[in-house]
Chains A and B, each alone.
Chain A
């Protein structure tokens, strides 16, 4: 807690770091912003090609809008985590230069990525305007979903930032795990594909899976990233006069009771944030002695 007060005293440093991060990503104004969108757009282009051209007939009229909506929180989450694994080694120059509350570093990563998310959101709204979806009050649900996701991302970031200062391979492990994690959250598939999965009992392995599935599903729903993605979809895709998807769409989670999971994910997010911060603060005293 006192560390957070200290961070506030050093908000000018925080702000300078955030501005620096943004400048690096949006180098040279307009073109830079376009570049920063290139990677996600490319990704989405590949999906478009995959789902619309190679495997057509997946129904849904506004399929791209659905994909992009779920992709947004994932992009924020994965980029925050990835950036955090570099933030300590990147700032070694100033770490060795002077005292400042080291917590400034992961917080600057989080803030920069929240601002990126804001920009991406604006782009999304422009796309929605083109697709003639109207803005409505449901959108506000995005705010608590983002807070929850940001807490979770921060806790993991702080932990990973601390460890990556001492072990160079944390960065590679994380980028690989993120590649796997992407398929463990419902970005490319609706929630029911995961929750509706069922395997009949058979030989020992099938029986094992049969009995394990309910537990796996519960664990799956405890992932704050999953909950955030589902919440984003519920917030952005229906409601208003011209919703992206009709309300019985399998892409919405309405057929599943979401609130218990929101509570579960919130508890986990807060716990991870606190534990991450504790780990970070314990390690931070030794940063300046590294390399």
Chain B
């Protein structure tokens, strides 16, 4: 029984040619016979499966489809083709700052978020002290989230996610934002999770963190899976590829600079 099953997944985005956000523009581009869209495949033919209790890293350059893949697993996005199955309670911690209403207080956000992830308000109330405690935000919970710093928002989001008893934790690029102390703390928490047999999926550009937390890593490039093996090997190969690419850039630049 695998915790996550991703089979033959393709994801297409439609990007508007220009920003078609008014009806007038939509009507005009329709009259001109343009579809108004450019199709873009953000993920191409992705398949893998994850056993319960695995910790998996997702690496790759900007725009390679990592957040898209996480969004699909969180069921926020729908695959264009293929199927995705995730077992148990999924707690997504998707990109920076998402999930919180800036106008609402920290407390209101905690309850709203927890209910989104399947908790009743009563259950949330029971865990609330622990959530605030872990985030170390006791004195600002009744202030609107727009008054928080970036790190404070991330702390709260992380704290909510890990207190919801998730079976699968999806983390997108939020590990590096907390301060030194909170990074230690969240790292420790993820390690606990691993020991408890929960599944963790981490997107990060911090390859050291990926190497330390994850046993296995998936490398994406322009929507395709380049590699899917143990994290040590993926990180080494990915680093080598980036280094090689930078060298080639350096050489072409040197070549251009040469007179003649």
Contact = CB atoms under 8 A, between A and B. Distances in A.
Contact of A96 (B13, B23, B78, B94): B94
Nearest to A169: B22
B23 A169 contact: yes
A178 interface: no
Contacts of B95: 96
A96 B22 contact: no
Nearest to A100: B116
Given A13-B115, A99-B74, A94 B99 contact: yes
A97 B76 contact: yes
B101 to A, nearest CB: 5
Interface in B158-210: none
A99 B113 CA distance: 11
B92 to A, nearest CB: 6
Given A167-B26, A168-B21, A93 B101 contact: yes
Contacts of A248: none
Contacts, number: 73
Contacts of A15: 115, 121
Interface stretch (B54-62, B104-112, B127-135, B239-247): B104-112
Given A12-B121, A96-B98, A167-B22, A288 B116 contact: no
A94 to B, nearest CB: 6
Contact of A288 (B77, B104, B115): B77
B119 interface: yes
B4 to A, nearest CB: 15
Contact of B117 (A20, A98, A167): A98
A268 interface: no
B99 A97 contact: yes
A202 B101 CA distance: 62
Nearest to A163: B23
A108 to B, nearest CB: 11
Interface in A170-207: 170, 173
Instruction: Bin the interface of chain B by size.
Output: 20 to 34
Interface in B50-77: 71, 74-77
B13 A289 contact: yes
A286 to B, nearest CB: 8
Contacts of B100: 93
Contacts of B119: 12
Given A167-B22, A169-B22, A93 B98 contact: yes
Interface centre among B99, B111, B116 (most CB of A within 10 A): B116
Contacts of B117: 98
A16 B113 CA distance: 10
Contacts of A96: 71, 76, 94-95, 98-99
Interface residues of A, number: 24
Interface string B106-150: 001001110111011100000000000000000000000000000
B24 interface: yes
A107 interface: no
A94 B75 contact: no
Interface string B75-104: 111100000000000101011001111101
A17 B104 CA distance: 11
B3 to A, nearest CB: 17
A168 B116 contact: no
Contact of A16 (B26, B74, B102, B121): B121
A166 interface: yes
Contacts of A100: 116
A93 B94 CA distance: 11
Interface in A155-170: 166-170
B157 to A, nearest CB: 9
A97 B77 contact: no
Interface in A1-43: 10, 12-13, 15-17, 20
A80 B99 CA distance: 25
A31 B104 CA distance: 20
A62 B82 CA distance: 66
Given A15-B121, A98-B74, A168-B21, 10 more contacts: A12-B119, A13-B116, A16-B112, A16-B115, A94-B113, A98-B75, A167-B26, A168-B22, A169-B22, A289-B77
30 contacts: A12-B115, A12-B119, A12-B121, A13-B112, A15-B115, A16-B121, A17-B112, A20-B108, A93-B99, A93-B101, A93-B102, A94-B101, A94-B113, A95-B76, A96-B76, A96-B98, A97-B94, A97-B113, A97-B116, A98-B75, A99-B90, A166-B21, A167-B21, A168-B22, A169-B23, A169-B24, A173-B23, A285-B78, A288-B76, A289-B13
Interface of B: 13, 21-24, 26, 71, 74-78, 90, 92, 94-95, 98-102, 104, 108, 111-113, 115-117, 119-121
Nearest first, the 4 A-B pairs at minimum CB distance are A97-B99, A99-B75, A12-B115, A98-B116
